[in-house]
Amino acid sequence: MFGYYLDLALRSLKRSPGLTVLMVLAIGFGVAASMTTWSVFRAVSGDPIPWKSSRLFVPQLDIWGPDSRKKSGYDDLPEALDYTDAMALMRDHRAKLQSAMYQISPSVVPADAAKHPINISGHAVYSEFFPMLDVPFQYGSGWSAKDDHERAHVVVISSKLNQKLFGGANSVGKTVDIEGKDYRVVGVANHWNPQPRFYDLVNSGGFHTDAEDLFVPFQTAIDMGMPNDGNTNCSEIPKEAGFVGLQHSSCVWIAYMAELDGASAVRSYRDYLNNYMRQQQQSGRFAWPPKTKLHSLPGWLSYEHVVPSDTKVSLLVALGLLIVCLVNTAGLLLAKFLRRSSEIGVRRALGAPRAAVYAQFLTEAGIVGAAGGVLGLLLTGLGVASVGWVLPKDIAALAKLDVSLLLLTLVVAVVATMLAGLYPTYRASRVQPAWQLKSN
Protein backbone atom coordinates (compact mmCIF):
# COMPACT_ATOMS: atom_id res chain seq x y z
CA MET A 1 0.00 0.00 0.00
CA PHE A 2 2.89 2.39 0.75
CA GLY A 3 4.14 1.93 -2.83
CA TYR A 4 0.73 3.04 -4.08
CA TYR A 5 0.76 6.17 -1.89
CA LEU A 6 4.34 6.88 -2.97
CA ASP A 7 3.35 6.71 -6.62
CA LEU A 8 0.39 9.05 -6.02
CA ALA A 9 2.62 11.51 -4.16
CA LEU A 10 5.24 11.61 -6.91
CA ARG A 11 2.58 12.15 -9.57
CA SER A 12 1.10 15.00 -7.54
CA LEU A 13 4.46 16.69 -7.01
CA LYS A 14 5.28 16.44 -10.72
CA ARG A 15 2.01 18.16 -11.62
CA SER A 16 3.06 21.34 -9.78
CA PRO A 17 6.88 21.53 -10.04
CA GLY A 18 7.08 25.22 -9.11
CA LEU A 19 5.28 24.71 -5.82
CA THR A 20 7.32 21.60 -5.11
CA VAL A 21 10.61 23.45 -5.66
CA LEU A 22 9.50 26.27 -3.34
CA MET A 23 8.71 23.83 -0.54
CA VAL A 24 11.97 21.93 -0.97
CA LEU A 25 13.96 25.19 -0.94
CA ALA A 26 12.16 26.42 2.18
CA ILE A 27 12.86 23.18 4.06
CA GLY A 28 16.45 22.91 2.76
CA PHE A 29 17.47 26.44 3.74
CA GLY A 30 15.70 26.33 7.10
CA VAL A 31 17.21 22.99 8.09
CA ALA A 32 20.69 23.96 6.84
CA ALA A 33 20.71 27.18 8.84
CA SER A 34 19.62 25.45 12.04
CA MET A 35 21.99 22.49 11.64
CA THR A 36 24.99 24.68 10.81
CA THR A 37 24.52 26.79 13.93
CA TRP A 38 23.75 23.66 15.94
CA SER A 39 27.08 22.13 14.88
CA VAL A 40 28.90 25.19 16.26
CA PHE A 41 26.82 25.33 19.44
CA ARG A 42 27.30 21.61 20.04
CA ALA A 43 31.06 21.98 19.65
CA VAL A 44 31.46 24.87 22.09
CA SER A 45 28.94 23.73 24.70
CA GLY A 46 29.92 20.06 24.99
CA ASP A 47 31.37 18.55 28.16
CA PRO A 48 35.16 18.34 27.56
CA ILE A 49 35.61 15.43 30.00
CA PRO A 50 32.11 13.96 30.59
CA TRP A 51 33.24 10.86 32.47
CA LYS A 52 34.90 12.96 35.16
CA SER A 53 33.62 16.54 35.06
CA SER A 54 31.38 16.06 38.12
CA ARG A 55 34.50 15.28 40.21
CA LEU A 56 36.65 18.21 39.11
CA PHE A 57 36.44 21.48 41.06
CA VAL A 58 37.86 24.99 40.89
CA PRO A 59 38.23 27.10 44.08
CA GLN A 60 37.91 30.88 44.42
CA LEU A 61 39.25 32.89 47.35
CA ASP A 62 38.48 36.49 48.27
CA ILE A 63 42.02 37.73 48.84
CA TRP A 64 41.30 41.29 47.65
CA GLY A 65 38.22 42.27 49.62
CA PRO A 66 35.12 44.10 48.35
CA ASP A 67 36.76 47.53 47.98
CA SER A 68 39.76 46.31 45.95
CA ARG A 69 37.52 44.08 43.82
CA LYS A 70 35.31 47.03 42.97
CA LYS A 71 38.34 49.18 42.17
CA SER A 72 39.74 46.44 39.90
CA GLY A 73 36.43 45.98 38.08
CA TYR A 74 35.54 42.61 39.64
CA ASP A 75 31.89 41.97 40.47
CA ASP A 76 32.79 38.67 42.11
CA LEU A 77 35.81 36.87 43.55
CA PRO A 78 39.09 36.72 41.59
CA GLU A 79 39.01 33.94 39.00
CA ALA A 80 42.56 32.74 39.71
CA LEU A 81 44.88 32.41 42.71
CA ASP A 82 47.99 34.29 43.76
CA TYR A 83 51.22 32.40 44.33
CA THR A 84 50.95 32.40 48.15
CA ASP A 85 47.52 30.79 48.31
CA ALA A 86 48.17 28.37 45.46
CA MET A 87 51.25 27.04 47.25
CA ALA A 88 49.38 26.82 50.56
CA LEU A 89 46.61 24.74 48.98
CA MET A 90 49.19 22.48 47.34
CA ARG A 91 51.04 21.95 50.65
CA ASP A 92 47.88 21.16 52.59
CA HIS A 93 46.77 18.70 49.88
CA ARG A 94 43.16 18.20 50.96
CA ALA A 95 41.96 16.83 47.60
CA LYS A 96 42.43 13.38 46.11
CA LEU A 97 44.38 14.94 43.24
CA GLN A 98 45.20 18.57 42.63
CA SER A 99 47.42 20.89 40.64
CA ALA A 100 48.27 24.54 40.46
CA MET A 101 49.23 25.62 36.93
CA TYR A 102 50.21 28.60 34.87
CA GLN A 103 50.78 29.21 31.18
CA ILE A 104 54.29 29.39 29.73
CA SER A 105 55.74 30.04 26.26
CA PRO A 106 59.39 28.97 26.27
CA SER A 107 61.56 28.31 23.23
CA VAL A 108 62.91 24.88 22.35
CA VAL A 109 66.31 24.61 20.69
CA PRO A 110 66.49 21.67 18.21
CA ALA A 111 69.49 19.35 18.37
CA ASP A 112 70.24 20.28 14.77
CA ALA A 113 72.20 23.53 15.04
CA ALA A 114 71.05 24.50 11.56
CA LYS A 115 67.45 24.79 12.74
CA HIS A 116 66.04 27.84 14.48
CA PRO A 117 64.58 27.72 18.02
CA ILE A 118 60.89 26.85 18.15
CA ASN A 119 58.52 29.08 20.12
CA ILE A 120 55.96 26.84 21.80
CA SER A 121 53.13 27.03 24.32
CA GLY A 122 52.60 24.93 27.39
CA HIS A 123 51.89 24.84 31.11
CA ALA A 124 53.81 24.49 34.32
CA VAL A 125 51.87 21.90 36.37
CA TYR A 126 52.25 19.34 39.15
CA SER A 127 52.59 15.57 38.64
CA GLU A 128 48.96 14.96 39.67
CA PHE A 129 47.77 17.01 36.70
CA PHE A 130 48.09 14.02 34.34
CA PRO A 131 46.12 11.35 36.26
CA MET A 132 43.58 13.94 37.41
CA LEU A 133 42.72 14.91 33.82
CA ASP A 134 43.27 11.44 32.30
CA VAL A 135 45.86 12.73 29.85
CA PRO A 136 46.49 9.97 27.25
CA PHE A 137 50.10 9.04 26.49
CA GLN A 138 51.65 7.75 23.29
CA TYR A 139 54.94 7.01 25.07
CA GLY A 140 55.90 7.05 28.74
CA SER A 141 53.87 8.87 31.37
CA GLY A 142 53.88 11.95 33.55
CA TRP A 143 56.60 12.60 36.12
CA SER A 144 56.46 11.58 39.78
CA ALA A 145 55.73 13.47 43.01
CA LYS A 146 59.42 13.01 43.80
CA ASP A 147 60.26 14.97 40.63
CA ASP A 148 57.97 17.75 41.86
CA HIS A 149 59.74 17.81 45.22
CA GLU A 150 63.23 17.70 43.76
CA ARG A 151 62.33 20.26 41.07
CA ALA A 152 63.63 17.90 38.43
CA HIS A 153 64.29 18.98 34.85
CA VAL A 154 61.74 16.68 33.23
CA VAL A 155 59.16 17.38 30.54
CA VAL A 156 56.08 15.92 28.87
CA ILE A 157 55.84 16.90 25.21
CA SER A 158 53.04 16.68 22.68
CA SER A 159 53.03 14.18 19.82
CA LYS A 160 53.28 17.15 17.44
CA LEU A 161 56.48 18.43 19.09
CA ASN A 162 57.77 14.87 19.30
CA GLN A 163 57.33 14.60 15.54
CA LYS A 164 59.27 17.82 14.98
CA LEU A 165 62.14 16.97 17.31
CA PHE A 166 62.41 13.18 17.08
CA GLY A 167 60.53 12.19 13.94
CA GLY A 168 57.69 10.64 15.95
CA ALA A 169 59.88 7.94 17.54
CA ASN A 170 59.77 6.99 21.21
CA SER A 171 61.67 9.89 22.78
CA VAL A 172 61.32 8.90 26.45
CA GLY A 173 64.71 9.32 28.10
CA LYS A 174 66.00 11.76 25.49
CA THR A 175 66.74 15.40 26.29
CA VAL A 176 65.15 18.60 25.05
CA ASP A 177 66.84 21.99 25.24
CA ILE A 178 64.34 24.44 26.74
CA GLU A 179 65.57 27.99 27.21
CA GLY A 180 69.18 26.76 27.22
CA LYS A 181 68.63 23.99 29.80
CA ASP A 182 68.33 20.25 29.18
CA TYR A 183 65.09 18.53 30.21
CA ARG A 184 64.59 14.77 30.15
CA VAL A 185 61.50 13.58 28.27
CA VAL A 186 59.37 11.33 30.50
CA GLY A 187 56.23 11.18 28.35
CA VAL A 188 54.66 12.04 25.01
CA ALA A 189 50.98 13.07 25.17
CA ASN A 190 48.86 11.36 22.52
CA HIS A 191 46.94 14.04 20.57
CA TRP A 192 45.42 15.62 23.68
CA ASN A 193 43.70 18.93 23.00
CA PRO A 194 40.40 19.18 24.93
CA GLN A 195 37.97 21.88 23.81
CA PRO A 196 37.39 24.08 25.65
CA ARG A 197 40.75 24.07 27.47
CA PHE A 198 38.86 23.53 30.70
CA TYR A 199 41.80 23.10 33.06
CA ASP A 200 42.88 26.73 32.67
CA LEU A 201 40.01 28.85 31.37
CA VAL A 202 41.36 32.01 32.95
CA ASN A 203 44.72 31.92 31.22
CA SER A 204 43.79 30.11 28.01
CA GLY A 205 40.57 31.93 27.18
CA GLY A 206 38.61 28.74 26.46
CA PHE A 207 39.22 27.54 22.92
CA HIS A 208 42.47 26.90 21.04
CA THR A 209 42.94 25.19 17.69
CA ASP A 210 46.45 23.90 18.45
CA ALA A 211 47.34 21.50 21.24
CA GLU A 212 49.85 22.53 23.89
CA ASP A 213 53.41 21.41 23.17
CA LEU A 214 54.88 20.77 26.60
CA PHE A 215 54.34 20.51 30.35
CA VAL A 216 57.07 21.06 32.93
CA PRO A 217 57.05 20.76 36.75
CA PHE A 218 55.58 23.86 38.37
CA GLN A 219 58.39 24.56 40.81
CA THR A 220 61.02 23.84 38.17
CA ALA A 221 59.47 26.51 35.99
CA ILE A 222 59.43 28.91 38.94
CA ASP A 223 63.11 28.21 39.69
CA MET A 224 64.06 28.70 36.05
CA GLY A 225 62.16 32.00 35.90
CA MET A 226 59.75 30.95 33.16
CA PRO A 227 57.35 33.92 33.18
CA ASN A 228 53.58 33.67 33.11
CA ASP A 229 52.27 33.98 29.56
CA GLY A 230 48.62 34.03 30.62
CA ASN A 231 46.47 36.67 32.27
CA THR A 232 47.70 38.56 35.33
CA ASN A 233 45.27 40.67 37.36
CA CYS A 234 46.33 42.86 40.27
CA SER A 235 44.46 44.92 42.84
CA GLU A 236 47.67 46.88 43.51
CA ILE A 237 51.06 47.27 41.91
CA PRO A 238 53.59 44.63 43.05
CA LYS A 239 56.22 46.04 45.44
CA GLU A 240 59.04 44.21 43.64
CA ALA A 241 59.82 44.10 39.95
CA GLY A 242 59.90 41.12 37.62
CA PHE A 243 58.69 37.55 37.98
CA VAL A 244 59.87 37.31 41.61
CA GLY A 245 57.83 40.40 42.44
CA LEU A 246 54.77 38.75 40.90
CA GLN A 247 55.23 35.75 43.20
CA HIS A 248 55.40 38.01 46.27
CA SER A 249 52.36 40.08 45.26
CA SER A 250 48.60 39.64 45.63
CA CYS A 251 48.20 39.47 41.84
CA VAL A 252 46.19 36.46 40.64
CA TRP A 253 47.66 34.44 37.75
CA ILE A 254 47.60 30.78 38.77
CA ALA A 255 44.82 28.38 37.79
CA TYR A 256 43.92 25.59 40.19
CA MET A 257 41.93 22.38 39.89
CA ALA A 258 41.15 19.61 42.36
CA GLU A 259 39.55 16.18 42.07
CA LEU A 260 37.02 15.35 44.79
CA ASP A 261 35.18 12.03 44.99
CA GLY A 262 31.68 12.26 46.41
CA ALA A 263 29.53 14.81 48.21
CA SER A 264 31.29 14.33 51.56
CA ALA A 265 34.67 15.10 49.98
CA VAL A 266 33.22 18.25 48.43
CA ARG A 267 31.81 19.37 51.79
CA SER A 268 35.11 18.68 53.53
CA TYR A 269 37.07 20.63 50.93
CA ARG A 270 34.65 23.55 51.10
CA ASP A 271 35.02 23.58 54.91
CA TYR A 272 38.79 23.49 54.48
CA LEU A 273 38.73 26.54 52.18
CA ASN A 274 36.56 28.45 54.65
CA ASN A 275 38.82 27.54 57.57
CA TYR A 276 41.91 28.49 55.58
CA MET A 277 40.51 31.94 54.83
CA ARG A 278 39.48 32.43 58.47
CA GLN A 279 43.03 31.62 59.52
CA GLN A 280 44.34 34.17 57.02
CA GLN A 281 41.99 36.77 58.44
CA GLN A 282 42.98 35.97 62.03
CA SER A 283 46.66 36.23 61.13
CA GLY A 284 46.03 39.84 60.08
CA ARG A 285 46.43 39.33 56.34
CA PHE A 286 43.08 41.02 55.67
CA ALA A 287 40.22 42.53 57.68
CA TRP A 288 37.12 41.75 55.58
CA PRO A 289 34.88 38.71 56.21
CA PRO A 290 36.37 35.61 54.56
CA LYS A 291 34.59 34.43 51.43
CA THR A 292 35.18 31.40 49.20
CA LYS A 293 33.52 29.53 46.35
CA LEU A 294 33.98 26.02 45.00
CA HIS A 295 32.73 25.35 41.46
CA SER A 296 32.25 21.99 39.81
CA LEU A 297 33.68 21.92 36.30
CA PRO A 298 30.25 22.27 34.58
CA GLY A 299 29.46 25.14 36.93
CA TRP A 300 32.85 26.73 36.23
CA LEU A 301 32.28 26.53 32.46
CA SER A 302 28.96 28.29 32.95
CA TYR A 303 30.45 30.84 35.38
CA GLU A 304 33.18 31.72 32.88
CA HIS A 305 30.65 32.05 30.03
CA VAL A 306 32.68 29.69 27.88
CA VAL A 307 29.90 29.33 25.30
CA PRO A 308 30.03 32.62 23.34
CA SER A 309 26.79 34.58 23.50
CA ASP A 310 26.79 35.12 19.73
CA THR A 311 26.55 31.36 19.13
CA LYS A 312 23.47 31.20 21.35
CA VAL A 313 21.90 34.13 19.53
CA SER A 314 22.77 32.58 16.16
CA LEU A 315 21.15 29.30 17.19
CA LEU A 316 17.94 31.05 18.27
CA VAL A 317 17.84 33.05 15.02
CA ALA A 318 18.39 29.90 12.95
CA LEU A 319 15.65 28.02 14.83
CA GLY A 320 13.36 30.99 14.23
CA LEU A 321 14.16 30.81 10.52
CA LEU A 322 13.36 27.09 10.52
CA ILE A 323 9.99 27.77 12.14
CA VAL A 324 9.20 30.45 9.55
CA CYS A 325 10.15 28.02 6.77
CA LEU A 326 7.91 25.33 8.28
CA VAL A 327 4.97 27.75 8.53
CA ASN A 328 5.45 28.70 4.88
CA THR A 329 5.68 25.04 3.91
CA ALA A 330 2.51 24.30 5.86
CA GLY A 331 0.73 27.08 4.00
CA LEU A 332 1.91 25.79 0.62
CA LEU A 333 0.89 22.23 1.49
CA LEU A 334 -2.54 23.44 2.63
CA ALA A 335 -3.09 25.33 -0.61
CA LYS A 336 -1.90 22.36 -2.65
CA PHE A 337 -4.03 19.80 -0.81
CA LEU A 338 -7.22 21.86 -0.76
CA ARG A 339 -6.85 22.52 -4.49
CA ARG A 340 -7.36 18.77 -4.89
CA SER A 341 -10.61 18.72 -2.95
CA SER A 342 -12.55 17.29 -5.89
CA GLU A 343 -10.07 14.41 -6.21
CA ILE A 344 -10.38 13.74 -2.48
CA GLY A 345 -14.18 13.85 -2.71
CA VAL A 346 -14.21 11.23 -5.47
CA ARG A 347 -11.86 8.94 -3.53
CA ARG A 348 -14.00 9.27 -0.41
CA ALA A 349 -17.18 8.58 -2.42
CA LEU A 350 -15.60 5.40 -3.81
CA GLY A 351 -15.01 4.18 -0.24
CA ALA A 352 -11.56 5.43 0.70
CA PRO A 353 -11.43 6.02 4.49
CA ARG A 354 -10.04 9.19 6.04
CA ALA A 355 -6.99 7.23 7.21
CA ALA A 356 -6.12 6.41 3.59
CA VAL A 357 -6.33 10.08 2.60
CA TYR A 358 -4.24 10.97 5.64
CA ALA A 359 -1.58 8.41 4.73
CA GLN A 360 -1.47 9.59 1.10
CA PHE A 361 -0.85 13.23 1.91
CA LEU A 362 1.56 12.55 4.78
CA THR A 363 3.57 10.45 2.32
CA GLU A 364 3.65 13.43 -0.02
CA ALA A 365 4.83 15.69 2.82
CA GLY A 366 7.49 13.14 3.71
CA ILE A 367 8.86 13.15 0.17
CA VAL A 368 9.10 16.95 0.29
CA GLY A 369 10.93 16.64 3.61
CA ALA A 370 13.35 14.03 2.25
CA ALA A 371 14.15 16.19 -0.78
CA GLY A 372 14.56 19.22 1.48
CA GLY A 373 16.81 17.14 3.72
CA VAL A 374 19.10 16.21 0.82
CA LEU A 375 19.34 19.88 -0.13
CA GLY A 376 19.85 20.69 3.56
CA LEU A 377 22.78 18.24 3.71
CA LEU A 378 24.54 20.04 0.89
CA LEU A 379 23.86 23.48 2.34
CA THR A 380 24.86 22.35 5.85
CA GLY A 381 28.21 21.14 4.51
CA LEU A 382 28.69 24.50 2.82
CA GLY A 383 27.62 26.34 5.98
CA VAL A 384 29.99 24.40 8.28
CA ALA A 385 32.86 25.12 5.89
CA SER A 386 31.99 28.83 5.93
CA VAL A 387 31.42 29.54 9.63
CA GLY A 388 34.94 30.94 9.85
CA TRP A 389 33.67 34.03 8.00
CA VAL A 390 31.44 35.03 10.90
CA LEU A 391 32.99 33.38 13.99
CA PRO A 392 36.50 33.42 15.51
CA LYS A 393 38.91 30.95 13.93
CA ASP A 394 39.41 28.85 17.08
CA ILE A 395 35.66 28.37 17.50
CA ALA A 396 34.84 27.88 13.82
CA ALA A 397 37.48 25.13 13.60
CA LEU A 398 35.50 23.06 16.14
CA ALA A 399 32.43 22.74 13.89
CA LYS A 400 32.56 19.31 12.22
CA LEU A 401 30.40 17.71 9.55
CA ASP A 402 30.24 14.19 10.97
CA VAL A 403 27.88 11.26 10.39
CA SER A 404 25.71 12.13 13.39
CA LEU A 405 25.16 15.66 12.08
CA LEU A 406 24.27 14.36 8.60
CA LEU A 407 21.74 11.89 10.00
CA LEU A 408 20.29 14.52 12.32
CA THR A 409 19.91 16.95 9.41
CA LEU A 410 17.97 14.40 7.35
CA VAL A 411 15.77 13.34 10.28
CA VAL A 412 15.00 16.95 11.24
CA ALA A 413 14.03 17.76 7.66
CA VAL A 414 11.64 14.81 7.31
CA VAL A 415 10.11 15.08 10.79
CA ALA A 416 9.73 18.85 10.56
CA THR A 417 7.99 18.60 7.19
CA MET A 418 5.71 15.84 8.46
CA LEU A 419 4.76 18.06 11.40
CA ALA A 420 4.18 20.97 9.03
CA GLY A 421 1.94 18.72 6.94
CA LEU A 422 -0.24 17.53 9.83
CA TYR A 423 -2.76 20.37 9.68
CA PRO A 424 -3.00 20.52 5.85
CA THR A 425 -3.43 16.73 5.81
CA TYR A 426 -6.08 16.94 8.51
CA ARG A 427 -8.00 19.54 6.50
CA ALA A 428 -7.73 17.43 3.37
CA SER A 429 -9.02 14.34 5.15
CA ARG A 430 -12.08 16.29 6.41
CA VAL A 431 -13.31 17.10 2.89
CA GLN A 432 -16.98 16.10 2.55
CA PRO A 433 -17.45 13.99 -0.60
CA ALA A 434 -21.13 14.99 -1.01
CA TRP A 435 -20.29 18.70 -1.22
CA GLN A 436 -17.58 18.12 -3.82
CA LEU A 437 -19.78 15.85 -5.95
CA LYS A 438 -22.65 18.39 -5.88
CA SER A 439 -20.35 21.29 -6.79
CA ASN A 440 -19.01 19.30 -9.75
pLDDT one digit per residue (tens) for the chain, 440 residues: 656 656 666 666 677 777 778 888 888 888 888 888 777 777 666 678 889 999 999 999 999 988 877 776 667 889 999 999 999 999 999 999 999 999 999 999 887 767 778 889 999 999 999 999 999 999 999 999 999 999 999 999 999 999 989 999 999 999 999 998 999 999 999 989 888 888 998 876 666 667 789 999 999 999 999 999 988 988 888 888 889 999 999 999 999 999 999 999 999 999 999 999 999 999 999 889 999 999 999 899 888 887 666 666 777 777 777 788 778 777 777 777 666 555 655 565 555 666 766 677 777 777 887 888 888 888 888 877 776 666 666 666 666 666 776 777 777 777 877 777 777 666 666 655 544 444 54
Cβ–Cβ under 8 Å, residues 31 and 412:
yes
Candidates 100, 60, 127, 125; CA nearest to 269 is: 60
Q: Report domain extents, the chain.
A: 2-47+308-439, 63-259
What CA dihedral angle connects 320, 323, 328 and 332, to 10 degrees? Answer: 170
**Furthest-apart CA pair in the chain: how many Å?**
99
Q: How many helices (H) and strands (E) does the chain have?
A: 19, 12
Radius of gyration of the chain (CA): 31
CA atoms of 258 and 133, how far apart (whole Å): 10
Cβ–Cβ under 8 Å, residues 171 and 183:
no
3-state helix, strand, coil in the chain (%, to 5): 55, 15, 30
Candidates 266, 287, 290; CA nearest to 278 is: 290
CA atoms of 163 and 407, how far apart (whole Å): 36
CA atoms of 75 and 106, how far apart (whole Å): 34
